[in-house]
Amino acid sequence: MSQRNLAWLIVVPAAVLLTGVMTYTAPPPEQDYKMVRTVVDVLAEVDKSYYRELTEAEKKKLVEDMINGGLHSLDPYSEYFNEERLKQFAQDNKGTFGGIGAYLGTDPKTGWLTIDSPMPDSPALEAGLQPGDIIVKIDGQPSDTLDVDAARSKIKGEPGTNVTLTLRRVGVKEPFDVALTRRVIQRHPVTGIRRRDDDPAKWDYFADPTDKIAVIRLSEFNEMSGKEMEAAVKEVVAAGAKGLVLDLRNNPGGLLRVAEQISDLFLAGGKIVLTRDRHDTGRDVKAKNDGAAWEDPGKLPMAVLLNGNSASAAEIVAAALQDNGRAVVVGERSYGKGSVQRSIESPDGKTALKLTTEIWLTPNGKRIHRSPTAKAEDEWGVKPDAGFEVKMTEDQLIQQLLHLREAEIGRKRPADSPKEEPSAEPGKAPKRGELPKLDPNFKDPVLEKALEYLRSKATARRLIGPREPA
């Protein structure tokens, strides 16, 4: 069989799926045919004796569910991709999709779908969609029959095709239709602290303009991540950055080669990651010295932020920078996903099998994979450096997510857009259907710990001064 090239898989459940290179195996031996025969017999009996006749689509789904049930018994990451799932995977990997470019939400009081915010340079913005617009219908279908994911899928579509939203807006008596033409929308994985006032499509990265400490957030490792990360680093260094925070919290992972690329961006040498298969063979990936200023910890000290949802490719980058002494890790222990998946495409390229084929190790040779029976005292995940563990309360987590949401959507509302309804005061439990109130005085304790560390580095450099020969 021919070899099919995909991407390496480094994922957790609900994360972006990634694939690698693998060839089809030879036909199974006789004993394997006997096991397959059991499956065929079961399907035949269902087709013959089930209380009702199954449609072809139901039969197909039954087979797919049987395959995935067996694969998931091996591990949570092995999976069969049908044609639709494989297309979705490829789209997610690219970081682009066909759509209107709007964040969707729900009205906390009524449960109706709403426009949270149109994205910069999008059909939604150009069509005049406003934050708080209630989506009554999507192409004539009432939206109260759809959850956010179903609505999002219905609004997405091939670039160049049309979708009509029926909206209700505060100050407008009757619902009205807005026809939009879908375009290619890019889901940018790299963000900063806040959108710039002069250009909402760009980011302000400096959390501390005085000490010139920048924060770059990376939400996933897709095809765009490496290029956008390098561009952001070059931008902050050109602006005089004296310290850098790499925020990988809630990053579920992504492409292995992108994790290697981003690790190499900050390393002048040393190992990045080790991979091992069932025969204990694999790759030892090493960083190369590009001579860039941001590879030097003396010129650009770094801190990496992790939490329990930082997984896989995010853990690879954190461990590579930590083990090589390039950055301190701040926050909480990571998820603990240390396996690698590759996929085998069917001959027609329409379906694929994603299978766990390797484990990966940190540069120091440590396995970080968390087994299903692992306990808190066991060794798994990437841990913060000594003195840099910071646990957040539930209220702090909520405030952090609220502030991230505000930064991402860039709340610059039109003068006639609806004002937000009052919500619970900070520190008080919200009533049912009520959103917590954004606390303007909130400080992210994990980020503050990282800033404190990098400020101390900046202070030390000022006191000692540059070591230049006379």
The residues annotated with a catalytic role in the active site are 312, 323, 337
Work out the number of other CB atoms within 10 angstroms of the CB of residue 206: 19
